[in-house]
Amino acid sequence: MLHLVGLGLNTGDIPESSLKLCKKCDTYVDNYTSLVSDEYQEWLKKELGKDLHMIGRSSLEEEVGMLLEKAKSGDIAVLVAGDPLIATTHKIIFIEAKKKNVAIAVHHAASILSTLIGESGLDFYRFGSPCTIASWSQDYKPVSFYETIQRNVQGNLHTVVFLDYDNQKRSSMSITEAVRIMFEAEKHYKKWLVYDDMKVVVLHRMAFGDQKKLFLTIKEAAHLDLSPGPSALVYPAKITDIEKEVMQSMY
């Protein structure tokens, strides 16, 4: 059987029931879609009493069949930062398991999405679809995230903006790079959604001991110098009076 196991957001966040399960499984750690810190990996090794198999992009996306084949004859656990099924990669694994008649179970944990919304201080019910700012290369410069923000703004809904994760650097895209791409997207669409004085929420290293929450202009965000780690933005719609009061108490 294949188990997709959520690790939560920080060392030791894995539920006790999932930890017990993993002791009985051949255990793999997803080292591609998000960050599982060295500290968390060492903690897991100690708690489980065994070494962990680290798997990257090829095993997760191109060699799913290998994992599924092993799961036909034994219990396999794939440990995922945050909550399983948030990333498309894990949904694909779920689909492939069903196609091949391999038993699969999902074991949930704290999600970065709900954490970002909660920590922002904004009303959960006023969030629209999230989007991701992808890293640019010479031949790949996507800006379609802007369309999601635009749709949400038209409905007076806030937007969680994820930043692309760089597995090599073990960090998400920097806030300064994200802001640069947002301004480039504005040049393309020209809908006046990104301008110097607009305010955004910066959420950096949530659930870590050194987390930072900032509510500042995008021009100010462009000059932030933050440590490596997971970061995200929230593009707010019109903020209500109660949301302002909550944010004032939290920041």
**What pLDDT, in 10s, does the model give residues 149-197?**
999 999 999 999 999 987 777 788 999 999 999 999 999 999 999 999 9
Q: What is the pTM of this model?
A: 0.89
- Predicted confidence at residue 121, as pLDDT, reads 97
Return the SS3 of 17.
Answer: helix
Residues in the chain with pLDDT values less than 50: none
d(CA 40, CA 75): 22
d(CA 75, CA 27): 9
- Predicted confidence at residue 209, as pLDDT, reads 83
Ordered by where they begin, the domains of the chain are 2-107 (3.40.1010.10), 112-250 (3.30.950.10)
84 DSSP 8-state letter: T
- Predicted confidence at residue 131, as pLDDT, reads 97
